[in-house]
Amino acid sequence: MIILDGNSLTLEDVARVARREETDVRISEEAKEKIARSRQLVEEWVERGEIIYGITTGFGEFANVTIPQGELRQLQQNLLRSHAAGVGEPLAPEVVRALLLLRANALAKGCSGIRLVAIEQLLKFLAADILPVIPSRGSVGSSGDLAPLAHLALALTGEGFVTIPETTHSPHGTHTSHRTQTSSLEALVKANILPLVLEAKEGLALINGTQMMSAIGCLALHRAKQLADIADIAGAMSFEALRATDTAFDPRIHAARPHKGQQFVAARMLRLIEGSEIRQSHRANDPRVQDAYSIRCIPQVHGAVRDTIEFAERTLTIEINSATDNPLIIPDSENPRLSKAGAGGGLLAGAHLEGGNFHGEPIAFSLDFLAIALSELASISERRTERLVNGALSNGLPRFLTNHGGLNSGYMLAQYTAAALVSENKVLAHPASVDSIPTSANMEDHNSMGSISALKLQSVVKNVETVLAIELLCAAQGIDFLAPLAPGRGSGKAHELVRKRVPHLDEDRNVSEDIAKVIELTQGDRFINALKV
């Protein structure tokens, strides 16, 4: 069970819910009290006819238009309809689950003036795996992810479209799980869930926030942490295949420049190659003083990537436990009692604060930085792959890692693919956060473009996992040629795992299938956990 209180959600929680490893999500009792207090303030202000942005007024440029009390429900529903203007391919189911969770947690903080029933509607969708169809393009990332969140919120009210899980049963007794698109209303009827009827402030509270960019960022970051481990393993295997020297990993070097990630990677490389017969075979008579940067500087480059991941994790952890809508509804902390206007207890004290917590700049910066760092993880990996396949650089390995060159091309084109993806990453690593186009008649005159940072990062992550898979594939082939000498404890285990999926390349075959098998091997934590050194 995951308990939401607006303060303690972790990246691991997000990943578990996104992968549907955890389906029981509830709101803490303390959070329910905070939600009730902020909601009571909204209801009292509406009853008194106060003029408050987005509650009794229009939105954006229309903030100067006062809305009659009898039209406040329509105001909130119209907001969702008008802002559901997204385009492009829908967000993946994992991202939508993460988005539902993050929106619920932000609202559970008790600063949004929304009813508990509205937040629980998000959790009902999550529990039933009813996932709003959310187009991926349309957010500029500064008044929150307005368009994507509007598509999400609209589905809560029975409008728009969702996907639901379906299982197909074949005559042969096999079962195939897939998702089917349907109208939200039809899905709600089927799941016995009532459509949400919005009250004052609730449409605005549901769509003002950074949850789309944060959802994508959390899942990309979770995979980035795995890729950092995989990169070390791939680097250790290439170290073995290229018969490199381990002097560059000496802890005294890294004590002289004590970056946390650098020191960690240097120590890990030594553990991965510990006991290597390959390294021992040329330790005494190695004519090379030092290796190329792609081997020698693994601690410095991989370590800097880890430090960047740590920075992004700190930022995202704060963000997913923050209130990011506007205005924020803050009850008086010294007067936390609940009361009802006219019931003899007086009015609940508090404030509505118009600000800009929806601006995605912190997330945009961190996701742009993470894309840059991961691009470098792929870049240095591709350089090691080049050394493995290039007979002039591989320290005696067969050209393109085949004994029958000419008739066979070996892994020649695998390096092409890695090079293409690294080049693509160079374009994707251009920061979206340095751009801004004004919106809402220049009321929103500086936008973060954080959603674009997030979408680019998604692509970078996929490219990096492929580049690392190619290195693992080529390094395993290179180690084969050094038998009967055995690699180290960790690098040897990695070699064994790759070989269980992909046999040695004796003659040419479909290399794409080899790459796909290694990518599959490195999905999740199984591969990494088998090499916990």
Give CA separation, 28 vs 4, 78, 104, 105, 479, in Å: 6, 31, 12, 10, 54
Check whether 333 has a pLDDT greater than 70.
Answer: no
Tokens of 260: 């946390």
Check whether 432 has a pLDDT greater than 60.
Answer: yes
Domain 2-209+329-353 has CATH 3.40.47.10: no
Q: Is 90 helix (H, G, I), strand (E, B) or coil?
A: strand
Residues 18-34 have pLDDT tens digits of 999 999 999 999 999 99
* CB atoms near residue 26 (< 10 Å): 16
| Residues 6+ away with beta carbon under 8 Å from 179 | 93, 131, 163, 164, 165, 166
Angle 511-522/412-428 helices, nearest 10 degrees? 60
| Residues 6+ away with beta carbon under 8 Å from 407 | 507
pLDDT confidence band for 347 (50 / 70 / 90): low
How far, in whole angstroms, is CA 468 from its chain's centroid? Answer: 19
pLDDT recorded at residue 177: 80
pLDDT recorded at residue 54: 86
pLDDT recorded at residue 31: 97
Residue 293 annotated as catalytic: no
Q: Mean pLDDT, to the nearest integer, of 314-338? A: 83
* Residue scoring higher pLDDT (407 or 142): 407
Peptide bond into 398 cis (omega under 30): no
140 HSE (CA, 13 A, CB side): 15
Check whether 334 has a pLDDT greater than 60.
Answer: no
pLDDT recorded at residue 124: 98
* CB atoms near residue 492 (< 10 Å): 23
pLDDT recorded at residue 442: 85
- Give which of 87, 72, 96 is closest to 20, Cα–Cα: 96
Peptide bond into 327 cis (omega under 30): yes
* Residue scoring higher pLDDT (203 or 61): 203
pLDDT confidence band for 341 (50 / 70 / 90): very low
pTM surpassing 0.85?
Answer: yes
The span from the CA of 397 to the CA of 304, in Å, is 30
Check whether 37 has a pLDDT greater than 80.
Answer: yes
pLDDT recorded at residue 486: 96
In the numeric block, the tokens 């070699």 are attached to: 495
Give CA separation, 300 vs 122, 259, 307, in Å: 44, 9, 10
Q: 68-72, 110-114, 153-157, 452-456: which range is least confident on average?
A: 68-72
The span from the CA of 69 to the CA of 47, in Å, is 8
pLDDT recorded at residue 533: 65
pLDDT confidence band for 337 (50 / 70 / 90): very low
In the set 53, 293, 411, 416, the catalytic residue is: 53
How many residues belong to the chain? Answer: 533
Q: Which residues of 121-151 are buried (b: 16+ CB within 10 A; e: fewer)?
A: bbbbbbbbbbbbbbbbebbbbbbbbbbbbbb
Check whether 131 has a pLDDT greater than 50.
Answer: yes
Give CA separation, 58 vs 207, 296, 503, 523, in Å: 15, 60, 65, 47
pLDDT recorded at residue 179: 95
Residues 231-260 have pLDDT tens digits of 999 999 999 999 999 999 999 999 999 999
Q: Mean pLDDT, to the nearest integer, of 119-143? A: 96
* CB atoms near residue 490 (< 10 Å): 25
* Residue scoring higher pLDDT (273 or 166): 273
The span from the CA of 390 to the CA of 138, in Å, is 45
Residue range(s) occupied by CATH 1.10.275.10 in the chain: 2-209+329-353
CB 37 within 8 A of CB 111: no
Residue range(s) occupied by CATH 1.20.200.10 in the chain: 219-312+361-529
How far, in whole angstroms, is CA 211 from its chain's centroid? Answer: 11
Q: For the chain, what percent of residues have pLDDT higher than 90?
A: 80
The span from the CA of 470 to the CA of 422, in Å, is 12
Question: What's the CATH class of domain 219-312+361-529?
Answer: mainly alpha
pLDDT recorded at residue 288: 74
The span from the CA of 172 to the CA of 161, in Å, is 32
Q: Mean pLDDT, to the nearest integer, of 505-509? A: 95
pLDDT recorded at residue 345: 46
Q: 121-130, 168-177, 181-190, 371-380: which range is least confident on average?
A: 168-177
Q: 199-208, 292-301, 523-532: which range is least confident on average?
A: 523-532
| Residues 6+ away with beta carbon under 8 Å from 325 | 106, 111, 112, 144, 204, 205, 208, 209, 357, 358
For 177-208, the three-class secondary structure string (H helix, E strand, C coil) is EEEEEEEHHHHHHHHCCCCCCCCCCHHHHHHC
CB 205 within 8 A of CB 112: yes
Side chain identity at 170, as an amino acid letter? S
pLDDT recorded at residue 305: 98
For 26-75, the three-class secondary structure string (H helix, E strand, C coil) is EECHHHHHHHHHHHHHHHHHHHHCCCCCCCCECCHHHHHCECCHHHHHHH
The span from the CA of 385 to the CA of 469, in Å, is 10
Check whether 342 has a pLDDT greater than 70.
Answer: no
pLDDT recorded at residue 524: 85
Q: Mean pLDDT, to the nearest integer, of 59-80? A: 88
